[in-house]
Amino acid sequence: MIKVIVVEDDRIIRRGICQAIPWEDHGFVVAGEAGDGEVALDLIEKEKPQVVISDINMPFMSGLEMAKKIRERSLDTRIIFLTGYEDFKYAQEAVKVKAFDYLLKPVDAEDLLKKVKEAAADWEGEAAKEKKITESLPLLQWNFFQRLIKEGEQRVDVEKELFELGVELEGPSYAAILVKMSSELLEEGNKIMSKMTNITTSVFQEIDSIVMNVAHDEFAILLSMEQEEDERKRRLARALFKQLSEQVDHQVTMTFGRTYANLFEVGHSFLEARLAMDMRHIMGTGKLFSLDDTMSNEETEKKPLHDLVTKLETQIKSGLPEKANETLGQLSAAIVERKSVPLADLKVMALKFSTMLFSEIEKWIKEETNDFNASEVYKEIMELHTLTEMAEILQQLIEQWSTAMYKRREKNYFSHVDQAITYMKENFHESSLTLQRVAEVIHVSTPYLSNLFKLEKGFNFGDFLLELRMKRAMEILSSEDIKTSEVCEKVGYSNPQYFGICFKKYTGHTPAEYKKKFR
């Protein structure tokens, strides 16, 4: 039944409302009554009624004050105010506290019952809508991650889609953890999700985190972190893995990606965790590891093999394709000489170096000439059977890297940032302006442009775009008498709520507060 609470300081009127209407015949139950708002608040907290009938003007705590407290506590109770003619001036205040409606005293029983039915129907409609959204959220999250896995993060506007999924992470750095259970959870999914969220919140504490659905048996944990926290991330991941292994009745395998400086790059971190997870049949299940951990202990302990692996890593990171190709040949020869490197280790090695090489290629190659397919290469690696096949795959990637690098070095590639800034200043008012769009306009890859911003200018693309939009918004609010929603559109935001959040973070004031203070 729908719960109703009656709040009225006049005992006779209060008892009349409770007893004169056959509430139960109409699907209602009077869950309690109170003589003032202060007493009623405790009752409302306890019973969580769908409808509250309250006098608007009472001693100790008025109905209006009570309603404000109810809204502060985020209760979705529908409030119907009763007011005398002389107190009708309070009706406008009732609107401000989001009262469902108000009726003039003396109240007709039929009119009150009709209004309560309307309030109950409104509550049920909203509850059904919220339930539908809640039930569909896992599917929306699954769709997001499946597209990320299938298409690559350059084709998904990660930041925008996360906001639409209700995910807000402040940064300044971001990373992803992937958790896989031993079997599909199906009916247990919501229960496991709730338990994982509680455990994650407990372990990570001051680090902002959110647990999301990837599949029936997989969950992603997105992290908002401070700079240079990789060791802390690893330590907390170990603590989380331990807690989950002890408290969840399924075998847990956990992987994590690297840390990145932009929210849209959390997609990179997730894909790295995904790639590591795909190697669990090589690394073993019921473990915690990352892509960087996938080299076997036996291999890293042996020389000269370990020295050559380290040397190749350094040369790739240093941008030396010729040296890298030479070292790859030496590494292949060393593996042949040793004769005891397992095929599984060769696959792990190939996956690690191919990931590094893809990253280097993307720094130099134009998107329209990008003819390599990471998914296909990874598939080839998982299916390779010989050292020769591994070497050929890596040599091809090194050749692509070398060719792309020297083609682009013939041009003044650092000028791309200035081109991007000019375009942004001319188009920041468009809500469709993204890093990917700017990169397409000036004919470079998205990660390449992102890196150039940090390298050449010392700030991120997102920070610069935010500054452009916020400064213009501040100018408009301090000089023009227009609505906040109009300001929002003028500076490139399609969602007023998101604009308000960004503006408050940037200035310390809401748009309304800023307008009042500085105009």
Domains and CATH numbers, the chain: 2-128 (3.40.50.2300), 152-294 (3.30.70.270), 295-347+368-397 (no CATH), 415-518 (1.10.10.60)
What's the residue count for the chain?
A: 519
Those residues with Cβ within 8 angstroms of residue 425's Cβ, 6 or more apart along the chain or in another chain:
468
Q: Tell me: pLDDT of 185 over 60.
A: no
For residue 321, cis peptide bond before it (omega within 30 degrees of 0): no
Share of the chain above pLDDT 90, in %: 18
Tell me which residue of 395, 394, 308, 319 sits closest to 351, measured CA to CA. 394
What are 474's two structure tokens? 């501040």
3-state secondary structure of 62: coil
**375-393 average pLDDT score:** 82
The answer to whether residues 93 and 68 touch, using CB atoms and an 8 Å cutoff, is: no
3-state secondary structure of 19: helix
pLDDT at site 134: 57
Tell me which residue of 254, 181, 187, 165 sits closest to 218, measured CA to CA. 181
In this prediction, residue 428 has a pLDDT band, given cuts at 50, 70 and 90, of very high
CA atoms within 13 A on the CB side of 263: 17
**pLDDT tens for each residue of 477-509:** 888 888 888 999 999 998 888 888 889 888 888
In this prediction, residue 368 has a pLDDT band, given cuts at 50, 70 and 90, of very low
Dihedral angle over CA of 381, 387, 390, 391, nearest 10? 180
Of 37-51, 146-160, 183-197, 458-472, the one with minimum mean pLDDT is 146-160
- The dihedral through the CA atoms of 249, 255, 259, 262 has a sign that is negative
Q: Which amino acid is at 11?
A: R
Q: Which position has the higher pLDDT, 393 or 384?
A: 393
Those residues with Cβ within 8 angstroms of residue 386's Cβ, 6 or more apart along the chain or in another chain:
none
The answer to whether residues 105 and 84 touch, using CB atoms and an 8 Å cutoff, is: yes
3-state secondary structure of 127: helix
pLDDT at site 294: 63
**According to DSSP H, which parts of 339-384 are helical?**
343-364, 374-383
The answer to whether residues 227 and 173 touch, using CB atoms and an 8 Å cutoff, is: yes
**297-326 average pLDDT score:** 76
| H or E segment and range at residue 270 | helix 266-277
Rg (CA), the chain: 30
User: What is the overall mean pLDDT for the chain?
Assistant: 81
Query: How buried is residue 373: exposed, middle or buried, by Cβ count under 10 Å (0-12/13-18/19+)?
Result: exposed
Phi-psi category of residue 166: left, alpha or beta, with phi > 0 → left and psi -120 to 50 → alpha? left
Q: Tell me: pLDDT of 91 over 70.
A: no
